[in-house]
């Protein structure tokens, strides 16, 4: 708003006029500085017109726009892929009445855990950049969901390994001992244990009051992170031992039932290769994060945490491929759902828990 003094002559002849006190600009306001500038458009011999112009210095309110971390984008994209894959597995198992054996119950539980893990990664991104992540409830909810989901994923993989071992070790009594009810009870125990682990930060086992006790994953304490990492290492060691026993039993059974030595070599070699791929994928995904959780704390650079967390989340991307999509029964259900038929070269032999 510019106040003009071009009518100086009229003001002097008319007795002058005073500025309206209700004007939004107060000339005596110390926050407004004034400058007397000559109108450059006036080049004639007419009286010089000068304008009294306030030099505004608007208060620039700095709006804090949080820069999006590329690692968080990668985790969110991974979570989306995990959610889509495992939602497909759950849908196939739910809408196929014939897939109700104990093996498929465990695969379904694993898919639910990985689905929750994928949703947890997406929600963590939303809470970080779209919602005030400084609220304790939001932080504890996000971390609790991720701990419960990934813990359930690891323990369900262990349960599937135990199921495969028992199906070979107790081949004659397996179908009578491993009932659907027993499998549901085992799945229930796994989920109660994992939900309890995820609830520990909300129950007070967090570092929100003492940042010096934080682990690489705030607000999980260093002690909690070490316990979870050691538990994973024990699970991995147990899986290695069980798969080693599975290989021994498979070789022994193959030698007993095979007629041709070529068949023994081909079938057992393929099984060992599959088991090796499963263990290598699981270890490559989780071992770096577990070891880093033991040796590192919150003072370490965040890029190292991201570099170990991302491969760990990729395990939930691989799980549907290893445990679900390789299963001929699930493949047939997928083909029937997509095109109403299935390829003729697809194996029609019922798949058992001992198949790897």
Give me the DSSP letters along 22-57: TSSS-TT-TT-EEEEEE-TT--SSSPPPEEEEEE--
CA 237 to CA 239: how far, in whole Å? Answer: 5
Q: Note down pLDDT in tens along the chain; length 356 residues.
A: 343 434 434 444 444 444 344 444 444 444 444 444 444 444 444 444 444 444 444 444 444 567 889 999 999 999 999 999 999 999 999 988 888 888 899 999 999 999 999 999 999 999 888 877 567 888 889 999 999 999 999 999 999 999 888 888 887 777 777 788 889 999 999 999 999 999 999 888 888 888 888 899 888 999 999 999 999 999 999 999 999 998 888 777 777 666 555 554 555 566 677 788 888 899 999 999 999 999 998 889 999 999 999 999 999 999 999 999 988 888 888 888 777 665 655 554 445 544 54
Distances (CA, A) of 143 to 18, 138, 249: 67, 9, 41
State residue 46's pLDDT score.
46
pLDDT for position 33: 45
> Tell me, what's the pLDDT at 17?
41
pLDDT of residue 278: 85
* The pLDDT value given to residue 60: 44
Q: What angle do CA 327, 331, 335 make, to 5 degrees?
A: 175
Query: What pLDDT score was predicted for residue 41?
Result: 47
């Amino acid at each position: 708003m510019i106040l003009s003094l071009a009518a100086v002559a009229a003001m002097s002849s008319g007795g002058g006029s005073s500025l309206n006190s209700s004007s939004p600009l107060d000339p005596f306001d110390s926050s407004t500085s004034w400058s007397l500038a000559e109108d450059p458009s006036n080049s004639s011999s007419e009286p010089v017109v000068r304008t009294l112009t306030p030099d505004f210095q608007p208060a620039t309110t700095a709006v804090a726009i949080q820069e999006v971390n590329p690692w968080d984008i990668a985790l969110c994209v991974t979570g989306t892929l995990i959610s889509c894959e495992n939602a497909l597995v759950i849908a196939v198992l739910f809408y196929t009445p014939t897939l109700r054996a104990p093996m498929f119950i465990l695969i379904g539980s694993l898919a639910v855990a990985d689905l929750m893990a994928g949703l947890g990664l997406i929600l963590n991104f939303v809470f970080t950049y779209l919602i005030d992540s400084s609220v304790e409830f939001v932080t504890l909810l996000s971390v609790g969901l991720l701990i419960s989901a990934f813990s359930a994923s690891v323990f369900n993989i262990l349960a599937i390994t135990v199921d495969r071992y028992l199906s070979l070790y107790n081949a004659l009594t397996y179908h009578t001992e491993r009932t659907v009810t027993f499998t549901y009870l085992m799945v229930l125990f796994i989920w109660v244990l994992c939900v309890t682990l995820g609830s520990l930060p909300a129950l007070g086992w967090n570092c929100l009051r003492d940042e010096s006790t934080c682990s690489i994953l705030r607000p999980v304490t260093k002690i909690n992170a070490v316990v979870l990492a050691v538990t994973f290492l024990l699970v991995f060691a147990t899986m290695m031992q069980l798969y080693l026993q599975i290989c021994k039993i498979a070789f022994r059974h193959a030698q007993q039932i095979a007629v041709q030595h070529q068949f023994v070599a081909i079938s057992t070699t393929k099984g060992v290769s599959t088991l090796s791929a499963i263990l290598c994928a699981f270890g490559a995904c989780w071992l770096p994060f577990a070891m880093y959780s033991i040796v590192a704390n919150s003072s370490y650079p965040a890029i190292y945490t991201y570099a170990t967390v991302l491969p760990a989340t990729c395990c939930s991307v691989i799980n549907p491929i290893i445990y679900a999509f390789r299963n001929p029964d699930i493949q047939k259900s997928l083909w029937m759902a997509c095109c109403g038929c299935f390829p003729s070269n697809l194996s029609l032999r019922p798949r058992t828990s001992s198949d790897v």
